[in-house]
């Protein structure tokens, strides 16, 4: 199934792109996606252990399974305010 992952801030700059679409098998979790992203974009590997992921507009845990067509975001530690 297809998922789209948006990248922000240092993740966007390290990847040189603002999103990536991946084909993943049904039942894939956020934690597995984290590992998969490191393999797909090696430049992202150093920061991936420190980022959170969001599905839609909600933070997601690593054990959360991803649905087909999920809009996922890779959220490095925030620094707004």
Restricted to residues 10-39, the positions that interact with another protein (CB under 8 A) are: 10, 12-14
From 16, 26, 69, 81, residue interacting with another protein (rule: CB under 8 A)? 81
Q: Which residues of 67-77 are buried (b: 16+ CB within 10 A; e: fewer)?
A: eeebebbbbbe
The beta strands (E) that lie in the chain are given as: 2-7, 19-23, 52-55, 58-60, 71-75
Per-residue binding string, another protein, 46-65, x by CB under 8 A, is -x--x---x-xxxx------
The verdict on 42 binding another protein (CB under 8 A) reads: no
- Least distance from C-beta 43 to another protein, angstroms? 10
DSSP label of 63: T
Q: How far apart are CA 81 and CA 76, in angstroms?
A: 15
Task: Give the total of residues touching another protein (CB under 8 A).
Answer: 22
Residues interacting with another protein, by CB under 8 A? Answer: 6, 8-10, 12-14, 47, 50, 54, 56-59, 73, 75-81
């Amino acid at each position: 199934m297809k998922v789209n992952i948006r990248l922000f801030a240092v993740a966007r700059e390290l990847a040189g792109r603002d999103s990536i679409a991946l084909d993943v098998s049904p039942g894939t979790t956020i934690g597995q996606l984290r590992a998969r992203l490191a393999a797909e974009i090696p430049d992202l590997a150093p920061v991936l252990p420190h980022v959170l992921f969001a599905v839609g507009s909600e933070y997601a845990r690593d054990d959360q399974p991803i649905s087909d067509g999920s809009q996922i975001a890779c959220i490095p530690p925030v620094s707004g305010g």
